[in-house]
Each structure stands twice: as C-alpha cells, then as structure tokens.
Amino acid sequence: MTIDLRTYQHSAINQVRAAYQARRRAVLLVAPTGSGKTVMFSYIASSAVDRGGRVLILAHRQELIRQTSRTLAAFDVAHGLILPGHPATEDAVQVASVQTVVRRLERLDWQPTLIVVDEAHHATRTTGHGRVLAHFDTARVLGVTATPQRLDGQGLGTVAGGFFESLVSGPTVQELVTAGYLSRPVVYAPPGAPDLSGVRRIGGDFAAGELAAVVDRPTITGNAVTHYARYCPGQPAIVFCASVAHAEHVAAAFSLAGYQAASIDGTMDDTTRAGRIADLGTGALQVLTSCEIISEGTDIPVVGAAVLLRPTQSLGLYLQQVGRALRPFPGKTHATILDHVGNCHRHGLPDDDRVWTLEGRKRRKADPAPDLAVKQCPACYTVHRPRPACPSCGFVYPASVRVVREVDGELAEIQRSAARDAAKREQKDAKTLEDLRRIGAARGYHPGWAERVHAARQGRQPMSRASQ
C-alpha cells in the first residue's frame, strides 16, 4: 500500500531530508500527538530501505512497538521484531525494544544506516536510548516526539550534551484542530484542587508517594465521577492517576457509579494490558484508569475525555496525557479535559502555541507564579483564553479595568490580561495564611509561597515550616 501523506507531513519530511543533506547526522522531528509521527517515520524508513539502507526503530514500551508494527504492516513494509521470544529475521527494518537491544548490543551482527527513536525526549547520554545511539555511532538518527522538553531541564541537542543537531518543527495543535486533524479541546477545572503545599519535589516533579497520599481521597475521586457524569457521561475516557493503588480505587468508584471501568498498570502482563486498551476502543469499557502506562503513544481515537487526577510539573507529561483525547473520530465534536488537579493553570491550554528548542532550560531554585493567558468561568468551570464571555455557557465577565500610565509626557494605555487581574484580586482578597496556602496549592506554587507573602504583609521574615 502506498503511504499517502498530508501536506504538512510532506513539508516536515522534506525539512528532515534537507537537514541530512546539510550534513546533520541526528535530526529531531517535533509534531503534536495525533499528527501522524508514526506514519512520517514509516515513510522515511521505507524510503531508506528502497535506497538499500537498514533501519532500526527504537521504542521503550510494548504499546509503542505494537503501534509501529501495525503501521508498517498496513503500508506493506516488511519488518522484524527485536523482542524476547521473537525469532530473528533478515528484514531491513527492525522494530525493537530499547531494553532488548541494550542487552544484545554486542551480539547484533548488523549495522543500521538509520535509527528512528520514538518518544525521543527519552534519548539522553545516560539512558538506554543513548547507549544504542552511541554504539551505532555512524548511523543517521531521526528522533520523533510531541514534547522535546524534559522535566530535568536537560537539552536534547548537541549544544547541551545531547545527540540532536537539528530540530524540525511540524504543525501546531491549533493548526491541526483548525484543519480537522485533531479534536477541539474543551477544558474544565472543577474547584477544590488538592493542597500540594506539603508535597516534596524529587527530580523536579512531585514526590510520587506523597502525591498519591494527597490525591487518593474519596472527595477528589467523587468529584471526578460527578463531573464525568455531568460533562461527558458514557464517553470513552482515560483517567490519569498518581499510583497503581490510586488507579484501582478510581476504577472501583466509577464501577460503583454504574460505569464499565477498569485499571491498567505496568505490573500486568502484556495480554491483559492490551486487552483492556482494546476494550476501551470497542466500548466494552467506558473508563480506563492508568498509572504511567498510556501517557505516550497509545492511539485510541474513540477516546473523548481525559481526566487528570495526577498533578505534575512536567509540561511534557501534561501534553502527552491530554493528547490521548485529541484524536478525531466520527461523531466526536470535541475532546473533554477534566482537570481536577490544576495542571492547565500550571502549563496552559493544550492548544497553546509553544516554542521548542534543543538547548534545554536552566532549573530554577523556586518556581515563580505562572503568567498564563487562561481564564476560568465561575459558572461552568471551563478554562479558556481570555474573552468577554465564556465559550461554553455564555457567562459574561465584568468589564476589566484599564490602567493608564504616564511615560515621558505621553500617555500609554496598558491593559493587563484578565487572567492576571483575576489572580491578583484573588490573592489580594485572601485575608489569612490558610487562604494564601489554599491559593498556592490550587495554582501549584512552590511550597513556602504563602508563608512568604503572609510574612511580607506583616513586615517580617517568613518562618520555616518546621518552626510553625
């Protein structure tokens, strides 16, 4: 079967080829979830084989390997699998588990001319991906990812100690929504976000054990079930949880409410995991709860909702999770995002334009208050870009105040964003330390923010939490 490409896919592939022609060895292709990255690298792999090349495609999860194998098979691209229990083949394309290749590096008797790295934000010098790329150091490399930003701030480019020399940017989420290739995200953030002020951060994100203890509570789970029933009842949904036990508890709550629900986690055998994912796609399940299994790569277009019950400081993880619901499907008018943990306030809306680089970013000692152009409707809890009225329910916001500033004898009018004004008013109206802690927890501010603001109001230095 011929691989038919969309216009933007042709453009991205041509940019990748231009980078190789400019003598770049390793190119990173960045495109949103649902843009067809697997199709694009399958086309590139097929073209490489036609010119006599050999291609190694690396993935780190069984679901990603199966998805790649299905796509290659649909396009009649012969390929083998490098996995435990699978016999070796002489095919010019091999789809491989990173972990398996690492174990067999010294025994592999062939040299790929091109290595494709799926979910390439994992490819650093210290990971299994990095060991494979360093071993086959003469092969060209094509990395693909929707989110080339790592939580630890480490850059993926050679300038930051990584592998990639060039970045090719595909279309934006908004462009794909406008063209009908992705569903329009509608985000709801119900009130009552969990208080994360006491949760430590390890490696830049919330400590997993402590986080689970905060979010695995009947009130939060009950809100998740209630708002699912209100905004997207019966729609196939993925619920992202903080731990295996949390995922099991949430699935039980949905089942008790009369929905067909089950949980999935890494402790399950491949057959069980694949079966439950398939059940969500066929309608046998309405709700699938997950702990770090289906954030990346899982393609279930019928999924109409993503329920966020795991707070995260990772922009990449947030975008991967909401991206599970953005694929179009017949009869699907939009994707519902139920954000019960304030991730949209930390990272912005799923279809915001973002600028990606290979340089990485410096880690900050403390996170400043976010300055995101988002607004939340007090009537229906929709989170959207600032506008005079809520796009979901029509609630009309009070007129914002315009600020006039005098500069060098001339008047300049500066209108602050409505979202920032609302945030400042909320902070100003907070009278007590507990009020400030509640605001800080809901917005995901750094622990101690409330104490610093409260102490500043009192004209003194903040006490440490241990001394309170």
145 and 198 within one domain: no
Query: At 289, which CATH number?
Result: 3.40.50.300
**What does the alpha-carbon distance between residue 79 and residue 83 come to, in Å, rounded to a whole number?**
13
219 and 345 within one domain: yes
**What does the alpha-carbon distance between residue 345 and residue 442 come to, in Å, rounded to a whole number?**
9
Tell whether 396 is covered by a domain.
Answer: no
pLDDT tens digits along 437-468: 777 766 656 667 777 776 666 655 445 444 44
- 270: its two tokens: 């491949």
pLDDT tens digits along 171-230: 999 999 999 999 999 999 877 678 888 899 888 889 888 999 999 999 899 999 999 999
Domain that holds residue 182: 177-363
Task: Show which of 127, 144, 171 is a domain's final residue.
Answer: 171
Tell whether 368 is covered by a domain.
Answer: no
Tell whether 388 is covered by a domain.
Answer: no
263 and 311 within one domain: yes
350 and 259 within one domain: yes
Tell whether 395 is covered by a domain.
Answer: no
Backbone angles phi, psi at 72, to 5 degrees: -60, -40
Place of tokens 């908004």: 174
pLDDT band at 415 (very low <50, low <70, confident <90, very high): very low
pLDDT band at 322 (very low <50, low <70, confident <90, very high): very high
Handedness of CA 457, 459, 460, 461 (dihedral sign): positive
pLDDT band at 40 (very low <50, low <70, confident <90, very high): very high
Residue 63: CB partners within 8 Å, gap ≥ 6? 273, 274, 277, 293, 294, 297, 298
330 and 196 within one domain: yes
pLDDT tens digits along 95-151: 999 999 999 988 888 899 999 999 898 888 888 999 999 999 999 999 999 988 887
- Burial class, 282, CB count within 10 angstroms (exposed 0-12 / middle 13-18 / buried 19+): exposed
In the chain, how many domains are there?
A: 3
Tell whether 36 is covered by a domain.
Answer: yes
Residue 195: CB partners within 8 Å, gap ≥ 6? 214, 437, 438, 441, 442
135 and 77 within one domain: yes
Buried b (16+ CB within 10 A) or exposed e, 323-336: bbbbbbeeebeebb
At 154, the amino acid letter reads: Q
What is the 3 state secondary structure string of 186-212? EEECCCCCCCCCCCCEECCEECHHHHH
343 and 221 within one domain: yes
Of residues 37 and 405, more confidence is placed in 37
Structural contact between residues 57 and 118, judged by C-beta atoms closer than 8 angstroms: yes
**Alpha helices (H) in 105-243, listed in sequence order:** 128-135, 173-178, 208-215, 218-231
158 and 247 within one domain: no
Tell whether 83 is covered by a domain.
Answer: yes
457 and 335 within one domain: no
Task: Show which of 171, 190, 213 is a domain's final residue.
Answer: 171
- 118: its two tokens: 């799926």
Tell whether 438 is covered by a domain.
Answer: yes
**What does the alpha-carbon distance between residue 283 and residue 264 come to, in Å, rounded to a whole number?**
16
pTM: 0.78
Tell whether 392 is covered by a domain.
Answer: no
Question: What's the pLDDT at 142?
Answer: 97
98 and 117 within one domain: yes
309 and 167 within one domain: no
Q: List, as one string, the DSSP characters of 401-436.
A: PPEEEEETTEEEEE---HHHHHHHHHHHH--SHHHH
**What does the alpha-carbon distance between residue 235 and residue 443 come to, in Å, rounded to a whole number?**
28
- Burial class, 365, CB count within 10 angstroms (exposed 0-12 / middle 13-18 / buried 19+): exposed
Residue 22: CB partners within 8 Å, gap ≥ 6? 166
**What does the alpha-carbon distance between residue 89 and residue 366 come to, in Å, rounded to a whole number?**
52
**What does the alpha-carbon distance between residue 153 and residue 124 come to, in Å, rounded to a whole number?**
12
Backbone angles phi, psi at 69, to 5 degrees: -60, -40
Q: List, as one string, the DSSP characters of 364-384.
A: PSSPPPP----EE-TTT-EEE
Task: Show which of 315, 340, 363 is a domain's final residue.
Answer: 363
273 and 311 within one domain: yes
